[in-house]
Amino acid sequence: MTNEYVLRRQVTRMDAHAIVHRNLPDAAPECTELRHHPFVGFVHAVNHRMVTAEVSPLIHTLVDRFTGRPYLSDPWPGLTNRVDSMGLNEPTDPEWNAVSLNQARHNATRLIRTSLVRRLKLAHGHSLHEKQCLETVWKPNWVITASYRRRPLQVLVDALTGGYYILGT
């Protein structure tokens, strides 16, 4: 057991192929692998008069370790502890852009606050309490290598949301 975590993929290999096929019908997938990208995960509890929930409302954020970019996310599906033997095929940290844990925390709270005020405006103040901080959360991405019009092409398909991005563009 490590203190690293892995998010379970929500998009299957077949789904990923379907997504590529839908958007690049002439692409012929040749190789598909599951890669993981490192994020920092935070869970914050929000105290705001206008927000009610059966349980205390929690906000999940993921901060890209390589860029510091924070994202709001759905509650994390299938978070498991990373076992040492798990080969995650992680990308090398370029290091020229990586953020510290504190910077990641700062970015996450900034995002949450901006988003709260944008939606709920200024009727009431709010407070955030950090409930959880996961220093390394590995987010799954499918990487499909395909040939498209006789050229090799690699497409990243986000295994949580199903969004895609062609490498190199």
- Binding to other proteins, residues 89-118 (CB under 8 A): 91-92, 94, 96-97, 99, 107, 110-118
Cβ count within 10 A of residue 45? 15
Distance separating alpha carbons of residues 5 and 82, to the nearest angstrom = 5
Q: Write the interaction track for other proteins spanning residues 2-21; mark x where CB under 8 A is met and - where it is not.
A: --------------------
Question: Of the candidates 73, 79, 88, 135, which one interacts with other proteins according to CB under 8 A?
Answer: 73
Residue at token pair 């370029």: 94
Q: Which stretch binds other proteins (CB under 8 A): 48-56, 78-86, 130-138?
A: 48-56
Distance separating alpha carbons of residues 88 and 86, to the nearest angstrom = 6
Count Cα neighbours of 33 within 13 Å in the Cβ-side half-sphere: 9
Q: Which stretch binds other proteins (CB under 8 A): 77-85, 130-138, 159-167?
A: 159-167
Q: Interface residues for other proteins in 115-144 (CB under 8 A)?
A: 115-128, 141, 143
CB 80 to other proteins: min, Å: 19
Q: Are strands 58-64 and 28-47 parallel, antiparallel or unpaired?
A: antiparallel
